[in-house]
Structure formats: structure tokens, C-alpha cells
Amino acid sequence: MSASIKDVAAAAGVSVGTVSNVLNRPDRVSPAIVERVHATIDELGFVRNDAARQLRAGQSRSVGLIVLDSANPFFAEVARGAEERADAEGLSVLLGNSGPDGARENAYLDLFREQRVRGVLLTPSVPAAPGITHAGIPLVLMDGESADGSVPSVAVDDVEGGYLATRHLLERGRRRIAFVGGPLAVRQVIDRLAGARRALADVPGAHLEIVEKPELTVLAGRQVGEEFAARKREDRPDAVFCANDLLAVGVLQGAAILGSIRVPDDLAIIGYDDIAFAQSTVVPLSSVRQPAREIGATAIELLLESLADPAATPRRARFRPELVVRASTGG
């Protein structure tokens, strides 16, 4: 049977209250006592019972975080940002993946309600499940917004991001531009494409080809790159804007490494997110940076605001995208 908090107190020669303070309010205890109690905890193998603590304190120290796919570096960075900000508040983050179609989103929302977490940060599946804004638990949307503004949210202006990416290609003299992304029902893809169209409207004679893919993955991008390489030269685009960096990495592999296409000479490539890997591809990728860690940290701040004043008007935080130019577009 594992040691109890009473066993730790007896072995360390302090009261149970002192042990509790060492665990929850160490600033109220002398460093020597803190060190002695932690040494005793380690020696006895004591593990606090958070469920019992929650019942006594009436509040959980945990926050649920649901992302579409933590294997995608963008969402991993969002999670890191949330975790770092939560840690500064003495909170811990419980991570769940809802999957490419959000199939497990409701299951995780149910689990986090049962766990009595303080709230949930959610990158909504697409299209967002109906009623998601009334999840019965304090909710913050990340990388998405609620149509009626009833839920706090933090996202990037993806229309502006799509405009920046496409205008950059046009400024490099490209006129046969392919947009690669999907599903076209995904809000982020819709907005990025809308921004691309806005940029083309300013340049008569420029042409936009839309290549829809079911997933924003490296494999999907590679299939597109190989398809471009299989075309006759005059049928190929001279530039491609990918809805995220993973697609762009795939197009680079399929077109340049496996095909006969020179990047950027024959085909300029730009992605979206500016994941760390984008800098180290064989031809460093131009991209549109989303401040992923700041998005995660801001989501925690929005949740804390919502918990502090549930009646306050939900805040919508919006970050501006940033164009990052590298070799894949001639930078």
C-alpha cells in the first residue's frame, strides 16, 4: 500500500498541514523543510491522490487540451505553448487527439467533464460539431472561432495569410499558381484560398488551379508533386501555395527529388504554419508563420479570464500571419 500524507509527516517530523503546504504552497515553508519533506516523499514513494484533493479543494488543477493531431508539429507547438502557460499557473494539461475528422472530439469532451477539469482548449474538428459551443464545460477554441462569438477563441487571420503567400508568388513573377489543400470544407483552407483569390484579383492574366486533397499531410503533398512532374512542362504550374507546411514538404519531395522539377526555378513552393522543419528541408521552405506557441499560451489566458468572470463577453484573440521568405520561392 502506498505511503499516505500522514506517513510522510511522521517520517519528516512535521505536521500534515506542513506537508500539504510543501505540495501546494511551498512559498509558505522554509527551504530546509521543503527539501526535507520532498526527500521523505521520494524515500517513501508517496503519490498525492488528486481526486481526493480535488474533492477537498473543490477545484481541479487540470485543463483538457484537444487537438486534431499532435503528431503535426503545428499542433505540438500549440500544446507546448498551452502547457508552459498552464504550468506558470500551477495547472497541468491533459492532451487528447480528436483525429483528422474529429471523431473522438466528443469522447474527450465527455472524459474531461467526468474528470472535472477546469476547462477545455479545443482545436475544433471541421466543420465544428453542432452544439460544440455548448459543451457544458468552460471552453476556448484554438485555431478556430465560434460563428456567434459565444466562446472565447484564438486564431490567425488565414485570409490575410493566404493573401500574403499568393501575393509573394505573384511578386516573384509567377502567373500559373496552384493552390493545394483540403478538404475544402475546412475553415482554415477556405480562408487561405479566399486570400489567394484576393491576391490574384489584383493581377490580370494570373491563373489559379485548385488541387484538393483529403488530408494536409506529407504523403498527400508528395502525390501532388509527382503528378506535377508527370505533366508536360507547359501544363505545369510555375508556383504552388500549400495550405500547410507538411503538404509543401511533400510537393517538394514529389516534384524536385523524385521528379525533374527545379525548385524554385521551375516551381516556386510556399507552405503555411512555418513549422521548425520548414527551415531545414533540402530547399528551405518559404511559409506563412502562425505563432503556434503564442496561440496555445493565449488560449490558457482566455480560459483563466473566462473562469475569473463567466459573465464577461468572450474575447476573440486574433494574430496576424507573418510571411517568411526562404529559398523555395527564391529568397
Interface with ligand RIB (CB under 6 A): 72, 74, 143, 188, 216, 244, 246, 272-273
Q: How far is the CB of 143 from ligand RIB (least distance, A)?
A: 5
Look at the block and give the residue holding cell 473522438: 104
Nearer to ligand RIB, 220 or 246 (CB): 246
The CA–CA distances, whole Å, from 192 to 65, 114, 123, 318 equal 25, 37, 17, 15
CB of 123 to ligand RIB, least distance (A): 7
Q: What's the closest the beta carbon of residue 322 comes to ligand RIB, in angstroms?
A: 14
Q: Judged by CB, which is closer to ligand RIB: 102, or 259?
A: 102
Residue with smaller CB distance to ligand RIB, 226 or 277: 277
Nearest in space to 82 (alpha carbons), one of 309, 293, 318, 316 = 293
Min dist. Cβ of residue 163 to ligand RIB (A): 15
- Does an H or E element contain 82, and which? helix 73-88
Residue nearer to ligand RIB on the CB measure, 78 or 117:
78
Beta carbon of residue 290, minimum distance to ligand RIB (angstroms, whole number): 6
**Cβ distance to ligand RIB smaller for residue 216 or 299:** 216
Minimum CB separation from ligand RIB for residue 273, in Å?
5
Strand pairing category for 139-142 and 62-67: unpaired
- Could you write out the DSSP letters of every residue in 43-81? HHT----HHHHHHHHSS-SEEEEEES-TTSHHHHHHHHH
Beta bridge partners of 140: 121
State the minimum distance, in angstroms, from the CB of residue 216 to ligand RIB: 5
CA distances from 271 to 20, 22, 161, 248, 251 (A): 50, 48, 10, 5, 10
For the CB of residue 98, give the shortest distance to ligand RIB in the complex, in Å.
12
Shorter beta-carbon distance to ligand RIB: residue 155 or 199: 155
Compute the C-alpha angle 185/188/191, nearest 5°: 90
Is the distance from CB of 249 to CB of 240 less than 8 angstroms?
Answer: no
Q: What is the DSSP letter of 126?
A: S
Q: SS3 for 183?
A: coil
Q: 177-197: string of b/e by CB count within 10 Å (b at 16+)? A: bbbbbbbeebbbbbbbbebbe
In the complex with ligand RIB, the residue whose CB is nearer, 104 or 116, is 104
Q: Beta strand 62-67 with 207-212: parallel, antiparallel or unpaired?
A: unpaired
Is 160:219 a contact under the CB 8 Å cutoff? no
Its sign, for the CA torsion 10, 43, 2, 63, is positive
> 46 or 75, CB closer to ligand RIB?
75
Rounded least distance, CB 321 to ligand RIB, Å: 10
Instruction: Rank residues 97 and 115 by Cβ distance to ligand RIB and give the closer one.
Output: 97
